[in-house]
Chains A and B, each alone.
Chain A
Amino acid sequence: MNRLNIFKVCKSKYNVSLWQCPQFMFLMMGIVIIASSLFFYALGQRHLIQPETLALVVMFVATLLLVISFVVTRSFEGLAETNKIKDEFINIVSHQLRSPLTSLRWASQFLIKHKENNLDPNDYIEYFDLIKENSIRMEKLIDDLLIITRLNDQKVDKRKANFSLSDLVHEVTKEYAAVANKFNIKIKIEEESIPLAFSNEYLIRIVLRNLIDNAISYSDENSEIKVNFKKKGKKLAITITDYGVGIPKDVKKRIFEKFFRAKNIMHKKVNGTGLGLYICKLIMNTLKEKIWFESKEGESTTFGFSLSVNN
């Protein structure tokens, strides 16, 4: 019954008024089609002698109006979906930016009133660290949003050149060594002689950062992450495997969506931007290369992507 309540559907699904709602527009167009068919039938009865011609005219008019209504309501549906996605995006981004900003503001206010707050000068470092941490958090979100915009607008430099994927993996892994060590997670990179990759090193670095960051965040403590390389014909594949929470079957098809976070990992990385995998997918699509994953919930997850070998 709720699905038949158009007003409720329009409000809950798209958050638009009736006249902007695709379902309501479709209903209105249906009424117009029926009314037009009856009108043309009545008109034809008065002026046309042959019933077959009359039937054809009515059918033609009805079909034409049906096609028009389909096109119109689809475009309304597209606009309404875009509007809803935009509103959700703004809500999420505002919350994600507000949280570190509030932390920055309160830490600064606390330091300014250091005498009233009985702060020992030795405590200052802790508060400055909190300010630094939250600044980095905001910077990361803004960087992620900017790269998404540039990728979507095709304004990113996607020129390709030869580079060592193995060296790049080592560099990125070093960046995350401190975080991995904190949880006693060992990153094992398979040492193998592999050819140079032919791709965009800057963009692949972003992909690797996101995949390694995720692998560490969703790994259990005292576990390991394996990085493997494989040459298959003209392609070089890299896989990153963690032995952590895994991805539930029912959400696998949503894993590359913007801001999507599966329920089973909410406790692991609440402060992440939720954009990492979306960015990886966008980058691989831009470079016309593949990205994939395999996962078993509670056991392991492997993310992989392939690049062309040196040109």
Chain B
Amino acid sequence: MKKILFIEDDNAIQKTLGTGLKNKGYDIVSAKDGEEGLLLSKEVKADLVILDLILPKMHGLKVLENMRQEESTKETPVIILTNLENIAEVERALELGATTYLVKANYSLEEVINKIETALEV
């Protein structure tokens, strides 16, 4: 069973996307802030990390930067899932090695789940 670390502070997004992915048979580990997310990324051998950017305690890009400096997480695929759409954030995320940058507002829940499944198949 593939494992997904889901770092997101919004209850509704956690609940809907988290449950949607569980129903598809994935093991979901949740974190509600950046610090917890970073800690869990080192402890849990996730096959994929879904990372929001505006997070309590530590910004998502900082989490990604730290992950890329750790031996155990520098190759872990990361999907950025946020509502921030400015070009500076997108470029920075891709520079730091994010696999994909998804703007939540542009997709339905089903579309996001499909994209996550596709990323895990690669």
Contact = CB atoms under 8 A, between A and B. Distances in A.
Interface of A: 91, 95, 98-99, 101-107, 109-110, 116-118, 126-127, 130-131, 133-134, 266-268, 270
Which of A101, A106, A110, A131 gathers most chain B CB within 10 Å?
A: A106
Interface stretch (B66-74, B91-99, B104-112): B104-112
B104 to A, nearest CB: 4
Given A102-B83, A116-B23, A130-B12, 20 more contacts: A95-B54, A98-B83, A98-B104, A98-B105, A102-B104, A103-B10, A103-B16, A105-B108, A106-B13, A106-B104, A106-B108, A107-B15, A109-B108, A110-B19, A117-B23, A130-B16, A133-B12, A266-B57, A270-B54, A270-B55
Return the 6 tightest CB-CB contacts between A and B, nearest first: A103-B12, A130-B12, A267-B57, A267-B56, A106-B16, A102-B104
Interface in B62-121: 83-86, 104-105, 108-110
Contacts of B13: 102-103, 106
B11 A106 contact: no
Contacts of A91: 86
B6 to A, nearest CB: 14
Nearest to A268: B56
9 contacts: A91-B86, A95-B83, A95-B84, A103-B16, A106-B109, A110-B15, A133-B11, A266-B56, A268-B56
A103 to B, nearest CB: 3
Contact of B12 (A98, A134, A268): A134
A271 to B, nearest CB: 8
B105 A126 contact: no
Contacts of A126: 15
Given A95-B83, A102-B104, A102-B105, A267 B33 contact: yes
Contacts of A134: 12
A105 B10 CA distance: 13
Interface in B18-55: 19-20, 23, 33, 54-55
A273 to B, nearest CB: 13
A268 B12 CA distance: 19
A101 B56 contact: no
Contacts of A99: 10, 83, 104
B84 to A, nearest CB: 6
Contacts of A105: 108-109
Contacts of A266: 56-57
Nearest to B17: A106
Contacts of B86: 91
A133 B10 CA distance: 11
A116 B24 CA distance: 10
A147 to B, nearest CB: 24
A270 B10 CA distance: 10
